[in-house]
Structure 1
Amino acid sequence: MSTLQITLIVCMFATAKSVNAMTVYTCGPNNTCVCTYDKQERITMDCEGRGNLKLSEICVFIGNVTSLKAGRNNFGNLTASDLKGCENLTEISFNFNQIAHIERETFQDFRHLHLLDLSRNLLQVYSKGWDASCLPKNLQTLKINGNPIPYNVNFPNLDSHDNLNKLTSDGFSNTAFNVSKIASLSLSGLNLETQCNLTQINNNTFSLSDSLKVLNISACGVISITAGAFEHLHSLEVLDLSYNRQLELWSLANVTYGLQFTRIRFLNISNLFSRFGGGVQLTMPNFCFLWNITVEDLDISGNKIDSIETNALILTPPSLKIIRVNHNKFWFGPYVLQLGCLGNVSTIFSSRLNYIPNPFIYTLENSKRYSAPKVELYQMTCPFCNVDFLKEYAMRTKECSYIENGVIDLLNPKIPVKLERLIANDCDYRHDLSSNYSYNPENISIRYIDISGNTFVSVTGYVGDIPMLETLNMSRCYISTIGLTSLNYRSLKTLRLADNDLGAQLADSKRSNIFDMLQSLQDLDLSSNGITVLFTSTFTELVNLERLDLSNNDIEHFDVNINTLPHLLQINLEINSIHTLNIGVRRKLEANENDRSKFSINLQNNSLAYECNNQEFLHWLIQHKANMVGFSIYRFVTSDDVTITFDKMMTDLDHLASRCRSYVAVIIIGLLALATFLSVIIGGVIYKYRWRIRYLMYMSKKRFFGYHMLPDYTAIQNYKYDAFISYAEDNIRFILDDVIPRLETDIISLCIHQRDFIPGNAVSDNIIHAIQSSRKTVVILSNAFLKSKWCMYEFNMARMESIYSRGEDISLVIVMLETVPNSAMPLEMLRWIQDNNYIEYTTDHEGNALFWDKLRRVITS
Structure 2
Amino acid sequence: MTVFFCLLTLAASLIGSCHSSPHMIIANYSGQWLTTVPKNLSSWTNVLDLAFNFIHAVEQTDFSYMTELKVLNVSHNSINDLNCTVFAFNKKVEYIDLSNNKLKSIAGIFPETIRHLDISTNYFKTMSMCKGFGNLLQLEYLGIGATQVFRSDFEPIARLQLQYVLIELQGLTDYDNGSIAVLNTKNLHIILPSTATDPYNVLLDAVKTSEVLELSNVREWNLKSDPKKYMTDIAQNSIVTHLTLSHFVLDWHTVVNALQSIWHSSVESLRFYDLTLSRHIDKVQFDYSNTSMKALLIQKASTTEFQFKQSDLYSLFADMNIENLTITDANILFMVCPLESSPLKHINFANNALTDDVFQECATLKNLESLEMAQNKLEKVSKISSMTRNMPSLKHLDISHNLLHYDGEDCHWSNSITRLNMASCDLTNSIFKCLPRHLETLILKNNEVTHVPLGISQFENLKELNLASNRLSDLPDCSFFKGLVGLNVEYNQIFSPSQELIEECHSVHELRAGGNPFQCDCEIKNFITFQEKSPGKIIGWPDDYICEHPEDTKGTTLKDLYIPEIYCIVYLLIAVIVLPIVFLSILIFGLCKYFDGPWYLKMLWKWTRTKHRVQRKNKNYQELQRDLVYHAFVSYSEHDSSWVKHTLLPNLEKNNSSLQICQHERNFVPGKSIVENIIDCIDKSYKSIFVLSPNFVQSEWCHYELYFAHHKLYTENTDNLILILLEPIPQYLIPSKYYKLKTLMAQRTYLEWPKETRKHGLFWANLRASININVSNPETPSSLSNVTA
Where does 1:630-641 land on structure 2 (aligned, <5 Å)? 631-638=542-549
Match of 2:464 in 1: 547
Deviation, structure 1 residue 582: 2.4
Where does 1:227-238 land on structure 2 (aligned, <5 Å)? 227=227, 228-230=229-231, 231=233, 234-237=237-240, 238=242
Which of 467, 476, 492 is residue 417 of structure 2 equivalent to?
Answer: 492
Please give the alpha-carbon distance, in whole angstroms, between the structure 2 residues aligned to 1:527 and 1:103.
Answer: 57
Which of 320, 330, 333 is residue 342 of structure 1 equivalent to?
Answer: 320
Deviation, structure 1 residue 577: 1.9
Q: 2:429, 2:453 within 8 Å by CA — same for their partners in 1?
A: no
Please give the alpha-carbon distance, in whole angstroms, between the structure 2 residues aligned to 1:57 and 1:338.
Answer: 58
Please give the alpha-carbon distance, in whole angstroms, between the structure 2 residues aligned to 1:279 and 1:180.
Answer: 37
Deviation, structure 1 residue 460: 3.0
Q: 2:149, 2:175 within 8 Å by CA — same for their partners in 1?
A: no
Q: Secondary structure at the match of 2:175?
A: coil
Match of 2:24 in 1: 24
Q: 2:382, 2:412 within 8 Å by CA — same for their partners in 1?
A: no
Please give the alpha-carbon distance, in whole angstroms, between the structure 2 residues aligned to 1:348 and 1:484.
Answer: 31
Change beyond 3 A, Cα 1:306–1:205: closer
Please give the alpha-carbon distance, in whole angstroms, between the structure 2 residues aligned to 1:302 and 1:172.
Answer: 26
Deviation, structure 1 residue 136: 2.6
Match of 1:581 in 2: 497
Match of 1:531 in 2: 449
Please give the alpha-carbon distance, in whole angstroms, between the structure 1 residues aligned to 2:307 and 2:425.
Answer: 25
Q: 2:282, 2:312 within 8 Å by CA — same for their partners in 1?
A: no
Question: Quick one: percent identity of the two aligned structures?
Answer: 13
Deviation, structure 1 residue 457: 3.4
Where does 1:278-427 land on structure 2 (aligned, <5 Å)? 280-284=281-285, 287=286, 294-299=292-297, 304=302, 333=311, 341-343=319-321, 345-354=322-331, 414=339, 416-427=341-352
Q: 1:187, 1:220 within 8 Å by CA — same for their partners in 2?
A: no
Which of 129, 136, 146 is residue 134 of structure 2 equivalent to?
Answer: 136
Answering whether residue 368 of structure 2 is matched by residue 446 of structure 1, we say yes
Residues 826-851 of structure 1, C-alpha deviations (whole Å, 9 max, x = no match):
xxxxxxxxxxxxxxxxxxxxxxxxxx
Where does 1:421-440 land on structure 2 (aligned, <5 Å)? 421-431=346-356, 440=363
Please give the alpha-carbon distance, in whole angstroms, between the structure 2 residues aligned to 1:350 and 1:634.
Answer: 40
Please give the alpha-carbon distance, in whole angstroms, between the structure 2 residues aligned to 1:546 and 1:456.
Answer: 27
Change beyond 3 A, Cα 1:542–1:59: farther
Deviation, structure 1 residue 672: 8.6
Change beyond 3 A, Cα 1:208–1:60: same
Residues 718-758 of structure 1, C-alpha deviations (whole Å, 9 max, x = no match):
xxxxxxxxxxxxxxxxxxxxxxxxxxxxxxxxxxxxxxxxx
Deviation, structure 1 residue 101: 3.5
Amino acid corresponding to residue 646 of structure 1 in structure 2: T
Amino acid corresponding to residue 437 of structure 2 in structure 1: L
Change beyond 3 A, Cα 1:353–1:78: closer
Q: Secondary structure at the match of 2:106?
A: coil
Please give the alpha-carbon distance, in whole angstroms, between the structure 2 residues aligned to 1:124 and 1:335.
Answer: 43
Answering whether residue 440 of structure 2 is matched by residue 522 of structure 1, we say yes
Match of 2:252 in 1: 249
Deviation, structure 1 residue 614: 4.7
Amino acid corresponding to residue 376 of structure 2 in structure 1: N
Deviation, structure 1 residue 448: 1.0
Please give the alpha-carbon distance, in whole angstroms, between the structure 2 residues aligned to 1:199 and 1:663.
Answer: 90
Q: 1:29, 1:58 within 8 Å by CA — same for their partners in 2?
A: no
Amino acid corresponding to residue 644 of structure 1 in structure 2: K
Deviation, structure 1 residue 588: 3.9
Deviation, structure 1 residue 186: 3.0
Match of 1:103 in 2: 107
Deviation, structure 1 residue 485: 6.0
Change beyond 3 A, Cα 1:483–1:646: same
Please give the alpha-carbon distance, in whole angstroms, between the structure 2 residues aligned to 1:591 and 1:240.
Answer: 46
Deviation, structure 1 residue 427: 3.0
Amino acid corresponding to residue 532 of structure 1 in structure 2: T
Which of 158, 161, 166 is residue 157 of structure 2 equivalent to?
Answer: 161
| Consecutive unaligned residues in structure 1, runs of 5 or more | 1-14, 36-44, 190-195, 308-327, 357-409, 507-511, 593-597, 677-802, 809-861
Task: Name the count of aligned residue pairs.
Answer: 539
Answering whether residue 409 of structure 2 is matched by residue 478 of structure 1, we say no
Please give the alpha-carbon distance, in whole angstroms, between the structure 2 residues aligned to 1:518 and 1:329.
Answer: 44
Match of 2:222 in 1: 224
Q: 2:283, 2:312 within 8 Å by CA — same for their partners in 1?
A: no
Q: 2:96, 2:117 within 8 Å by CA — same for their partners in 1?
A: yes
Q: Which has the higher contact order (CA 8 A, sep 6+)?
A: 2
Q: Secondary structure at the match of 1:225?
A: coil
Which of 554, 565, 572 is residue 644 of structure 1 equivalent to?
Answer: 554
Q: 2:473, 2:495 within 8 Å by CA — same for their partners in 1?
A: yes
Change beyond 3 A, Cα 1:335–1:250: closer
Match of 2:485 in 1: 569
Q: Secondary structure at the match of 2:564?
A: helix
Q: 2:437, 2:459 within 8 Å by CA — same for their partners in 1?
A: yes
Change beyond 3 A, Cα 1:633–1:646: farther
Q: 1:281, 1:306 within 8 Å by CA — same for their partners in 2?
A: no
Match of 1:457 in 2: 379
Change beyond 3 A, Cα 1:421–1:672: farther
| Consecutive unaligned residues in structure 2, runs of 5 or more | 1-18, 28-38, 587-731, 738-789
Amino acid corresponding to residue 554 of structure 1 in structure 2: R
Please give the alpha-carbon distance, in whole angstroms, between the structure 2 residues aligned to 1:329 and 1:248.
Answer: 15
Amino acid corresponding to residue 418 of structure 2 in structure 1: K
Q: 2:376, 2:401 within 8 Å by CA — same for their partners in 1?
A: yes
Change beyond 3 A, Cα 1:269–1:573: closer
Please give the alpha-carbon distance, in whole angstroms, between the structure 2 residues aligned to 1:438 and 1:207.
Answer: 45
Amino acid corresponding to residue 399 of structure 2 in structure 1: M
Residues 103-162 of structure 1, C-alpha deviations (whole Å, 9 max, x = no match):
35x25x83x655432235554436xxx464233345666645577x5xx88787323332
Where does 1:88-99 land on structure 2 (aligned, <5 Å)? 91-95=95-99, 99=103
Q: 1:244, 1:271 within 8 Å by CA — same for their partners in 2?
A: yes
Q: Secondary structure at the match of 1:632?
A: coil
Answering whether residue 214 of structure 2 is matched by residue 212 of structure 1, we say no
Q: 1:76, 1:100 within 8 Å by CA — same for their partners in 2?
A: yes
